[in-house]
Amino acid sequence: MDRKEFLSAIGLTAASAVVFSCVGCSKSDNEGPSNSNNPPTGVDFTIDLTAAPNAALNNNGGFIYTNRIIVAKSMSGAFLAVAQACTHEGTSVTYNSNARLFVCPNHGAQFAENGAVNLGPATVALRRYNTSLNGTTLRVFS
């Protein structure tokens, strides 16, 4: 095998590997970005407010992500829970306690604390979930 044949063979092998790996990573038609069109349903879980990963919820304005839901504590001390994924393109929203808004850092969509759209490009509200506090246990449910 001469040099030209060798390089051709190596190039074909590398190209085959790239094509094979790309096919393995492709999304199926029913996968949206971060399940933005499919907010969690049948939700019913508890959060231990004494556990270190949940410490942000002990402060007004703090928030955590859990089970594809963003759980926040408003500046007035009320617990809020909405679907984590922006309904525009599925980016995880954050909570801006001073503005009392959930905000998408990707394209700037803003949602009220009840999930309603305040500013596009999103046109669909975030799904809202109920919360109930019992001692140091916060229940989030549909």
CATH number at residue 119: 2.102.10.10
Query: Which ranges constitute the DSSP H helices of the chain?
Result: 3-25
Residue 7 lies in a domain: no
Residue 10 lies in a domain: no
Chain Cα centroid distance, residue 81: 12
Residue 24 lies in a domain: no
Look up the pTM and report it: 0.72
Backbone angles phi, psi at 50, to 5 degrees: -90, -10
pLDDT digits (tens, 9 = 90+) for 20-30: 333 333 333 33
pLDDT digits (tens, 9 = 90+) for 40-94: 888 999 999 999 999 999 999 999 999 999 999 999 999 999 999 989 988 899 9
H-helix or E-strand spanning residue 130: strand 130-134
What ranges make up the beta strands (E) of the chain? 44-48, 63-66, 69-73, 79-83, 94-96, 101-103, 110-112, 117-119, 130-134, 137-141
Q: Which residues contact 81 (CB under 8 A, 6 or more apart)?
A: 69, 70, 71, 72, 128, 129, 130, 131, 140
pLDDT digits (tens, 9 = 90+) for 31-48: 333 444 588 888 999 999
Q: What share of the chain is helix, strand, coil (3-state, %, to 5)?
A: 25, 30, 45
In this structure, are residues 28 and 109 in contact, taking their beta carbons and an 8 Å threshold? no
Read off the amino acid at residue 134: N
Range of the domain at 128: 33-141
Residue 82 lies in a domain: yes
Number of separate domains in the chain: 1
Residue 109 lies in a domain: yes
Residue 130 lies in a domain: yes
The token pair that represents 11 in the structure block: 């190039």
In this structure, are residues 102 and 88 in contact, taking their beta carbons and an 8 Å threshold? no
Residue 8 lies in a domain: no
